[in-house]
């Protein structure tokens, strides 16, 4: 796993301070369901892909409501080092993804995960439930920054044991003979997903678990 350096930047100003904390994914994977029209049960539903450098996002259907192939991604971030910060001070949350292959669907969605899961154990059949919607966006090739709804994420600051992660799926289904999933780099590559959290007010503290930047 790529190590993240600690960086602290401070500038004197009369404006209120904000602090940005960058968390790198400490677990990411995807699940896969494929109905090829021949084999049953569907393929890949008990397979784990936690060690892969890419994770997929795809919803392909034989027809509306009849799933042919489904790939959904999951990522976890460790909130246990945020003891110096309060949930009430979280003013912005952004998910940063490096995308190797654009998604076919127009819209992808990010949700909170509401149950614990393990990177090297998660499969389609044991996947955790999802909760509140965090964002609707599109997976384009390159680095993308997704603005997330702060409301569902803020409680994780005060209760890090409930920070079960973020789940990404394709909202628009694709009909056709073949479809290429969107591909997101994982922490097994050089481009781990990141969660950028911006807090108002607190003093800058050095930490070994993430990168901290102060701005004014």
- pLDDT bin (cut points 50, 70, 90) of residue 208 is very low
Q: Once rounded to an integer, what is the mean pLDDT over residues 88-98?
A: 98
Closest alpha carbon to 55 in 39, 38, 69, 74: 74
- In which residue are the tokens 């997330």 written? 148
- pLDDT bin (cut points 50, 70, 90) of residue 177 is low
pLDDT of the residue at 63: 64
Closest alpha carbon to 95 in 49, 156, 51, 137: 137
Parallel, antiparallel, or unpaired for β 54-63 and 66-76?
antiparallel
Q: Once rounded to an integer, what is the mean pLDDT over residues 109-114?
A: 98
CA 101, 104, 105, 109: dihedral to nearest 10 degrees? -20
Coil vs helix vs strand at 207: coil
Q: Once rounded to an integer, what is the mean pLDDT over residues 180-196?
A: 96
Which tens digits make up the pLDDT trace of 145-173? 999 999 999 999 999 999 999 999 998 76
Which tens digits make up the pLDDT trace of 29-81? 999 999 988 889 999 999 999 999 999 999 888 766 678 899 999 999 999 99
pLDDT of the residue at 157: 98
pTM given for the model:
0.85
- pLDDT bin (cut points 50, 70, 90) of residue 180 is confident
CB 84 within 8 A of CB 186: no
- In which residue are the tokens 């998604």 written? 103
């Amino acid at each position: 796993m790529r190590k993240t350096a600690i960086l602290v930047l401070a500038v004197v100003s009369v404006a209120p301070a904000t602090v940005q904390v960058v968390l790198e994914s400490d677990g990411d994977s995807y699940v896969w369901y494929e109905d090829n029209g021949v084999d049953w049960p569907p393929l890949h539903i008990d397979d784990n892909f936690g060690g892969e450098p890419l994770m997929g996002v795809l919803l392909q259907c034989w027809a509306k409501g009849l799933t042919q192939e489904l790939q959904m991604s999951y990522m976890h971030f460790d909130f246990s080092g945020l003891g110096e910060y309060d949930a009430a001070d979280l003013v912005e949350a952004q998910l940063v993804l490096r995308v190797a292959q654009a998604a076919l669907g127009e819209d992808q969605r990010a949700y909170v995960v509401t149950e614990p899961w393990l990177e090297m154990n998660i499969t389609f059949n044991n996947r955790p439930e999802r909760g509140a919607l965090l964002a609707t966006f599109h997976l384009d090739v390159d680095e993308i920054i997704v603005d997330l709804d702060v409301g569902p994420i803020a409680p994780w600051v005060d209760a890090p044991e409930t920070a079960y992660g973020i789940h990404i799926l394709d909202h628009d289904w694709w009909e056709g003979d073949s479809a290429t999933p969107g591909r997101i780099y994982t922490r097994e590559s050089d481009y781990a997903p990141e969660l950028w959290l911006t807090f108002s007010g607190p003093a800058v503290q050095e930490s070994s678990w993430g990168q901290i930047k102060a701005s004014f």
